[in-house]
Amino acid sequence: MPIIHLEQKDAPTHYYNIVPDLPAPLQPPLHPATKQPIGPQDLAAIFPLELIKQEVSMESQIEIPDKVRRAYQIYRPSPLIRAERLEKELGTPAKIYYKYEGVSPTGSHKPNTAIAQAYYNKQAGIKKLTTETGAGQWGSALSFACNLFGLECAVYMVKASYEQKPYRRIMMNLFGADCVASPSDRTESGRKILAQDPNTPGSLGMAISEAVEEAAKNDSTNYALGSVLNHVLLHQTIIGLEAKSQMERAGDYPDIIIGCHGGGSNFAGISFPFLQDKLKRGKNKLRAIAVEPRSCPTLTEGKYGYDFGDTVGLTPLLMMYTLGHDFVPSPIHAGGLRYHGAAPLVSLLYREKIIEAVAYDQLPVFEAAVKFAKNQGIIPAPESAHAIKAVFDEAEKCKQSGEAKTILFNLSGHGHFDMSAYQDFLAGRICLL
């Protein structure tokens, strides 16, 4: 199992911004009340100026601040691993590599943007951040980052995940964050939703409504989002930038790049730096595949158009693939993929047929996860297991065709806090959806 490492001196010094290389222009976000394009002043109530600048930047490279780079050194660069034993197990001529983001303090890729967002808010004089979280990876990452920079943190955790994953919320509490099940009675948004359905399992859209409402009502409080927006995807490109350097050291280059897809952050993180080669350097055969749950098939079954990022309608309208902001997905174990919309950047690339998307039921996803764990010794998060299922399918195609393609995927987090999900799988309690 060869592991390709990077030394810290070789770590990226800049993020990659894909916006200047897009095949078509992004449509601007619209104000939720006026439905007119929003300006920086409209975002200033919940975001610091530097993140607003990044959101609209047309610069291809954006420098990573020294304090952020030093914080990354706690766990970055992350390893790139050649899964030779898995290749043999699958009987495929394909070469399989994975970028392992589970080495971060909170066990997923989410600190890559949490650290950056906490830093920029601290520089702007903000005292507290609010956010939503599904399975808890983002909430625990922001809690960790706020603790690093001396900020308070409030996390609205989707009710279904709050109940399924108690150790994630305990981790948030350990880092000093206040974690509450969403929808809650702490906000007008939450009370409105509960009045309509007291037994709702919650959704990321609902939790976003609550977090945005709290931030908008307090001058010293800002909101932090774990996916979807341009600046979030920008910070995650450190994954793919490292992977490009590591693939060069391995003397290889991917034919296929795979990542699970909820809002788009980890898929964008691994794929965008390579898609630059496709968009600018003629690597037209490069395939990038976003993998989502069949119970929340945003790209594969959603409509492309303007929609709110939250359930109540407090956020700007974004041009994206969406299942509708009032869509409530089934309470599957991959809580981080239960989001009704897709990042505008990912959505545009999908619409322009630059990337592909597939959707799976959760039962075959868990079957793939268990096989991977037994072979590689890493128990994947249920979200990441969606990517693994797609890797298995692509490896099987190579087996049938005899093609020795190179497959790279993002193992975006470990599943050490998802044992109840694996317990349900082993006990035969996992349903298809």
What local confidence, expressed as pLDDT, does residue 134 receive? 82
How far apart CA 296 and CA 300 sit, in angstroms, is 9
Cα(396)–Cα(3) distance, rounded to whole angstroms? 24
SS3 of residue 213 by DSSP? helix
Structural domain includes residue 304: yes
Residue-number span of the structural domain to which 243 is assigned: 3-7+66-107+230-426
186 is a domain residue:
no
Residue 135 — very low, low, confident or very high, per pLDDT cuts 50/70/90? confident
Q: Tell me: the pLDDT tens digits for 190-239?
A: 999 999 999 998 988 889 889 999 998 999 999 999 989 999 999 999 99
Kindly state the percentage of the chain with pLDDT values over 90.
Answer: 80
By CB neighbour count within 10 A (0-12 exposed, 13-18 middle, 19+ buried), where does 387 fall? buried
Question: What integer pLDDT is reported at residue 47 of this predicted model?
Answer: 93
Contacts of 423 (CB under 8 A, 6+ apart): none
Q: Which residues are CB-contacts of 373 (< 8 A; sequence separation ≥ 6)?
A: 379, 380
- Looking at residue 211, its pLDDT comes to 94
Contact residues for 13 (Cβ-Cβ < 8 A; gap 6+): 63, 64, 69
- Strands (E) located in 168-316: 178-182, 221-223, 256-260, 287-293, 303-308
For residue 327, name the pLDDT band (cuts at 50, 70, 90).
confident
How far apart CA 160 and CA 332 sit, in angstroms, is 9
163 occurs within a structural domain: no
The per-residue pLDDT for range 14-71, each reduced to its tens digit, is 999 999 999 999 999 999 889 999 988 888 888 999 999 999 999 999 999 999 999 9
pLDDT higher than threshold 90 for residue 309? no
Mean pLDDT of the chain: 93
pLDDT tens-digit series, residues 355-392: 999 999 999 999 999 999 999 999 999 999 999 999 99
Q: pLDDT (tens digit, 9 = 90+) per residue, 77-117?
A: 999 999 999 999 999 999 999 999 999 999 999 999 999 99
Per-residue pLDDT for 332 more than 70? Answer: no
pLDDT of residue 198: 93
Least confident of 167-171, 179-183, 337-341: 337-341
Average pLDDT for 234-247: 98
Which pLDDT score, from 0 to 100, does residue 429 have?
84
Pairwise CA distance, residues 58 & 43, whole Å = 18
Which residue is it, tokens 């968009």?
279
Contact 412, 106 (CB under 8 A): no
CA distance 147 to 161: 23
Residue 1 has pLDDT above 70, yes or no: no
CA distance 426 to 418: 13
79 located within any domain: yes
- Map residue 318 onto helix, strand or coil: strand
Is 270 within the bounds of a domain? Answer: yes
| The pLDDT value given to residue 188 | 93
Its pTM stands at: 0.94
Q: What type of residue sits at position 253?
A: Y
What per-residue confidence (pLDDT) applies to 433? 56
Q: What is the CATH number of the domain that holds 101?
A: 3.40.50.1100
**pLDDT for residue 335:** 59
Total domains in the fold of the chain: 1
Q: How far apart are CA 187 and CA 244, in angstroms?
A: 44
Q: Is 301 a domain residue?
A: yes
Cβ(172)–Cβ(136) under 8 Å?
Answer: yes
In this predicted structure, what is the pLDDT of residue 98? Answer: 98
Question: Is 29 within a domain?
Answer: no
Q: Is residue 353 part of a domain?
A: yes
